[in-house]
Amino acid sequence: MTIGWHFDNSYSRLPKTFKENINPVAVNAPEILILNKDLANKLDLDFSNINDDDLSKIFSGNILPEGSNSIAQAYAGHQFGHFTMLGDGRAVLIGEHLTKNNERFDIQFKGSGRTPFSRSGDGRAVLGPMLREYIISEAMHFLKIPTTRSLAVVKTGEDVVREQISQGAILTRVALGHLRVGTFQYIAAKQNISDLEILINYTIEKYYPNIKSSKNKALDLLNVLIEKQTQLVIDWMRVGFIHGVMNTDNMSISGETIDYGPCAFMDVYDPKTVFSSIDQLGRYAYENQPKITKWNLTRFAECLIPLISANEDEAIKLATEALDKFEQNYETKWLNMMRDKLGLYGEDKEDKNLIMELLNWMYEKKADYTNTFIFLMNKTIKNSEIYDNADFNLWKTKWMKRLVMFGNTHNKSMDLMSSSNPMVIPRNHKIEEALTLANNGDLTLFNKLIEILKNPYQVNENDLELMSPAPHSHVKYQTFCGT
């Protein structure tokens, strides 16, 4: 099969403590459901002459590509604040593929069977959550938010027993890498400084070669990740994305959004929004995401202390100074992001008050977060009568005065807003509707949503229904850690 795989498996060459060699467990009757041809083209992979039967074997792991070297990665993690030794319990990294431009991408099969890290799990995944990760990760990519992506979904032809019996599936995930804060925690917990140094050098070589000649690699790596993760959480806040399970093993060192478990998008604006059924205390609520980002980065810093300085007190001081900049940096970036959403050029001392007035009004009136900004761009939305409101109109008058400050024009403001505010997001009720149909063999709505979400900033008004939040009659939306 001439597909174009070109593997160079650098992680496999690391010491054994970092991973376990393990192949995917073959499945009985694999059936390809989705192949992401756009992503395949980006990867310089050509599946055009491969029939569905062979595609099914490839993306189930029944046939492994030449040059691949399957491993399960070791890592640890703070899960809801509690430290646990983990590892890939139902995923294998089959290798690192190089494109013609020498770009490197991890190719991982998720749901591929038991590994040495599976503990009591079966290593398998359920169809619905794999399709869910596919559509939401692709939506995030087109929203211009750093993310892992999805290349294929295959049904395994085998049942998976959870709360009920479900269809099994395997997702092919593509990422810049699968290193996590939890990877560093795992190595740090082993208390082998040599391995920690290997990991830091590997990380810098793979992701951040610009700091390779740094005099303090560990400290500079901390600073780089603080910056990356600050920008990532800003992007999440911009579109109302709630990750739902921000454990340290789900914070990627490459700065990508990873592990779409109980994630969802906020409809009605409420800073305390939580969708995950297991997040009873709201640890990972929308408003807490920046705080948790810093908390996770602090756990990362703890791992690096031995290599920031031989003097522990000095190392802690340097790491603390780096982390202490997080709040101000986040606040500055958040303010600029919200200015973009409102089409505001320049900086005025009243900007934060103007922004908070709008957010408070949205909260009090239970206004839709995404659609409020669409309404301000003079676009048609359903249920716009909520904006026929004295308080809102008073705020809007202030906003329009601010728009023309600094010699700005209305058209420039609208262009800025159009690039910052999606017209369409993965609406939770529509995703669930598509998944219900897909579980019964009908991918029509799923494929339609995928196409619409490819152009989230320029949606056709004929797709207005897909832009709308769920009717108030819908029960409160809840997500589960199915992926």
Q: pLDDT tens digits for 412-468?
A: 999 999 999 999 999 999 999 999 999 999 999 999 999 999 999 987 776 767 767
Q: Is 119 annotated as a binding residue?
A: no
Q: Is 366 annotated as a binding residue?
A: no
Q: What number is the average pLDDT over the span 348-355?
A: 98
Dist. CA 289–CA 461, nearest whole Å: 32
Beta bridge partners of 339: none
Q: Is 299 annotated as a binding residue?
A: no
DSSP structure class, residue 115 = -
Q: Is 106 annotated as a binding residue?
A: no
pTM value is 0.95
Is residue 421 within 8 A of residue 341, CB to CB? The reply is: yes
pLDDT in the model for residue 481: 54
Q: Is 123 annotated as a binding residue?
A: yes
Catalytic residue among 220, 235, 249, 267: 249
Dist. CA 425–CA 262, nearest whole Å: 16
3-state secondary structure of 10: coil
Express each pLDDT in 235-267 by its tens digit: 999 999 999 999 999 999 999 999 998 999 999
Is residue 443 within 8 A of residue 169, CB to CB? The reply is: no
Express each pLDDT in 15-31 by its tens digit: 999 999 999 999 999 99
Q: Is 182 annotated as a binding residue?
A: no
pLDDT in the model for residue 267: 95
Express each pLDDT in 2-60 by its tens digit: 799 999 999 999 999 999 999 999 999 999 999 999 999 999 999 999 999 999 999 99
Q: What number is the average pLDDT over the span 305-330?
A: 98
- Which residue, among 142, 304, 147, 137, has the nearest Cα to 231 in the 3D structure? 147
Confirm whether 340 is a catalytic residue.
Answer: no
Q: Is 383 annotated as a binding residue?
A: no
Query: Counting Cβ atoms within 10 Å, is residue 346 exposed (0-12), middle (13-18) or buried (19+)?
Result: exposed
Q: Is 279 annotated as a binding residue?
A: no
Q: Is 250 annotated as a binding residue?
A: yes
Is residue 362 within 8 A of residue 286, CB to CB? The reply is: no
Q: Is 8 annotated as a binding residue?
A: no
Tell how far CA 362 is from the center of its chain.
26
